[in-house]
Amino acid sequence: MKRHSSDLMHSLLKSIGVAFVLAGIAAMSAIMALGLEPFVAKMSAPVIGAAALGALVASALFLHPIALLWIVTILTLVVVGLAKYFIAGVGGVQWISYGLGALLYLPALAALAGGQALFRHRSASTWVLFWLAVFLMTVVVSWSFYPPSPGILLASLKAWAFFGGVWLFLAFYPVSLGSLKSWLYGWLGIAFLQPLVVLYQWFIIGGNHRAAGGGMSGDWITGTFGGGIGQGGLAPVLALFLMLIALLLLSAWRQSLINTKRLGFLMAIILLPVAFMEEKVVFLYVPLAVLVLFRDYAYRRPLAFALTAGLVAIALTGLFTVYQAIHWEDRGEDAKDMFAYSFQVESNREEYTGHLTRPGAVVYWARHNFNGGVVETLFGYGLGSARTAGQSIGWMALQKDPMTIDRTGLSLLLWEVGLIGTAAFLGLLISGMLMASRLMAGEIFTGFEKALAQALVPSFSLFSVAVLYRNDIPYAGNMMFLLMSAFGLLFWLEHRATMGSRVAQ
């Protein structure tokens, strides 16, 4: 009788979940219809044609969703960035990868409705689901006080929810171990592609630009992650991606899946682009990632931990020297000042440029809200309200023009979802790290699965730093793809643990 009641409850929750998501798809379709004309007007004709062709291909791939996952991955991490860097007149091309990413909700829901989903609730995911629920509740509350326009709503859903299809797909669809391994090997292949593109950007494109009398900034070296000469780009996202791959390799080495010689060779290839990108965040990513990954050495093998810390310090010193030589010296800039600028509160340029520093953006929010309404301080002004760029500018951003109030993910979250929503999002990242730790500590996993869980622990700490450093969360599609993939991999591992425990019983 108790089992029958449990099955009924599970069936009811499953039906409610499917109905909720289908209602969301219907609402999203209505929103897109309302804002379709101005949206299409800003897209180039080739992109509209590619989107129409992509819709036909995606419909055919519904029966082969693993292939759809591969296409979304290659589009998001390679094709979109290269198109925006090398091809003029491809406005809106990123919508193709966003749209295909959102289609991954459908096979996930089909698996859930058809009873194929591997999802089983376990204590490891409790806090992740709790903080996700709090974040979603905060979004609904803030939007209830400040209803967004159709354009802002669509832009917000695109940034925050479309690549959630990757998370849901990995959580619900029965992805086999072999398929997941192949997919992550694809990530490794994309990482191997980066040195070729980076060297071409630095020596060929940059060389021609310098020969013509122009300068060359390390911000323009973005690999396949998007940007352009004179525009900067998503080099910080590329740096984080390379660090995620490095963590996977280091974890595989710790689990004796690859030997030391091969590890050194692969790491040298993957980390080569870091020297050519002027990304100071690397000096935060590297020590934090290594400290978290090898944290157990501090008490189990203190000598090895000290040796590892020394090697990391030497590597960072060498990288610092390279940065000084090829990025800052020819411009007469001092490295100390370059780093100090990233942490100073005011730059003396705010009044006439609106360009806030990273800490300054948070201070600016505090000055304008701590003496204001309690509701706004706690719940914010709604997702999208702080957008200062893109197709839809937020209404709070217009009021504060020309201040870049969304300078970082942290300042954006504070404006849009307040203290509660910001705490919930950071809690989501921290609980993801804890969930990976619990999965890694279990006795079910060995080999590849244990290495994956081990790599995910420091990965979430890097996402947390990214929130403090830039606003790539949620604005950069490839960053959101990586974040949603990390959460999806957590739940895939949890289901593997559930299956393993059931077999063991």
Please tell me the predicted confidence (pLDDT) of residue 116. Answer: 66
Domain assignment of residue 479, yes or no? yes
Alpha helices in 146-205 (DSSP H): 150-160, 164-172, 177-199
**Domain total in the chain:** 1
Domain assignment of residue 366, yes or no? no
Domain assignment of residue 372, yes or no? no
Please tell me the predicted confidence (pLDDT) of residue 227. Answer: 77
Domain assignment of residue 29, yes or no? no
Signed CA dihedral, 104, 121, 241, 416: sign only? positive
Please tell me the predicted confidence (pLDDT) of residue 502. Answer: 46
Which stretches of the chain score pLDDT less than 70?
1-63, 88-89, 91, 115-123, 214-215, 230-232, 331-332, 334-335, 347-353, 500-505
Please tell me the predicted confidence (pLDDT) of residue 314. Answer: 92
Q: State the Cα–Cα distance between residues 391 and 397, nearest whole angstrom.
A: 13
Please tell me the predicted confidence (pLDDT) of residue 503. Answer: 39
Please tell me the predicted confidence (pLDDT) of residue 47. Answer: 54
Q: Kindly state the tokens that stand for 77.
A: 């991490």
The per-residue pLDDT for range 186-203, each reduced to its tens digit, is: 999 999 999 999 999 988
Please tell me the predicted confidence (pLDDT) of residue 110. Answer: 82
Domain assignment of residue 262, yes or no? yes
Q: State the Cα–Cα distance between residues 389 and 404, nearest whole angstrom.
A: 9
Domain assignment of residue 264, yes or no? yes
Please tell me the predicted confidence (pLDDT) of residue 372. Answer: 72
Domain assignment of residue 152, yes or no? yes
Instruction: Tell me the backbone φ, ψ of residue 233, rounded to 5 degrees.
Output: 170, -155
Please tell me the predicted confidence (pLDDT) of residue 504. Answer: 37
CA–CA–CA angle 324, 329, 335 (5° rounding): 50
Domain assignment of residue 319, yes or no? yes
Q: Which residues does 103 contact at the CB level (< 8 Å), separation at least 6?
A: 58, 62, 68, 165
Range of the domain at 164: 35-341+406-504
Q: What is the largest CA-CA distance in the chain?
A: 81
Q: How crowded is residue 175: how many other Cβ atoms within 10 Å of its Cβ?
A: 22
The letter for the amino acid at 308 is T
The letter for the amino acid at 121 is H
Q: Which residues does 42 contact at the CB level (< 8 Å), separation at least 6?
A: 91, 92, 391
